[in-house]
Amino acid sequence: MRFLVTAGPTREHLDPVRFLSNRSTGRMGFAVAAAAAAAGHECLLVAGPVSLPTPDGVERVDVVSALEMLDAVKSGLEDADALVMCAAVADWRPKAFAPTKLKKEGMAPVIELERNPDILKSIAPMKGGRIFVGFAAETGDPCEEATRKLAAKGLDMIVANDVSKPDSGFAVDTNRVTFLFPSGRRTYLPLLKKSEVAARIVAAVEAMA
């Protein structure tokens, strides 16, 4: 199969030195790309700004903003059989971009924001027979929100995790996740290394193909 995987945060620049972003380090997405390649699949990894080496056997495209990620996903999708959207896409971007560094004396006390497109929703019309997997990183009950997002984003599977726990989610090597499917089936996984969670995700995709 050919996997398309997104990873990391996006950065939404206000000027050349300032941006809005989030805590994603890209580890989960890079682990999925590595697991796909290790299982003998082709893999294109669309990575936001992260400091991680490209996994062996993976083709990588680097992007910065959500709009750039959307373009890269659209171009990679045609050749893909499965999309795994691990990226923590910034929901908002500053309305204006200043091409030179803003002077703090002249800076507005309020930064006007506009919504970024939802990448999964934007590409839903191009889905065809492809398998789409999303993530739901939540600070409350992860399954409740994940069930809503699974349907709203038209996914075949969503990986839910509680990012408020110190051993699960951002910037750690372990994750405790649940896979949710449109049929209502759920697979609860114990605390595992992200590489092992990634291998289970790849296996779940293979089982749906």
Nearest approach, Cβ of 11 to ligand C5P (angstroms)? 14
Nearest approach, Cβ of 126 to ligand C5P (angstroms)? 13
Under the rule (CB under 6 A), what is the footprint of ligand C5P? Answer: 66, 85, 87, 89, 91, 116, 118-120, 134-136, 149, 153
* Residue with smaller CB distance to ligand C5P, 62 or 98: 62
What are the two backbone dihedrals, phi and then psi, of residue 132, each rounded to the nearest 5 degrees? -110, 125
Are 190 and 176 spatial neighbours (Cβ–Cβ below 8 Å)?
A: yes
116 is catalytic: no
* Residue with smaller CB distance to ligand C5P, 43 or 120: 120
From CA 27, how far away is CA 161, in angstroms rounded?
14
From CA 82, how far away is CA 94, in angstroms rounded?
31
* Residue with smaller CB distance to ligand C5P, 152 or 209: 152
CA angle 55, 69, 96 (to 5 degrees): 135
Nearest approach, Cβ of 159 to ligand C5P (angstroms)? 8
| Cβ neighbours of residue 124 closer than 8 Å, sequence gap 6 or more | 153, 154
Residues acting as catalytic residues: 22
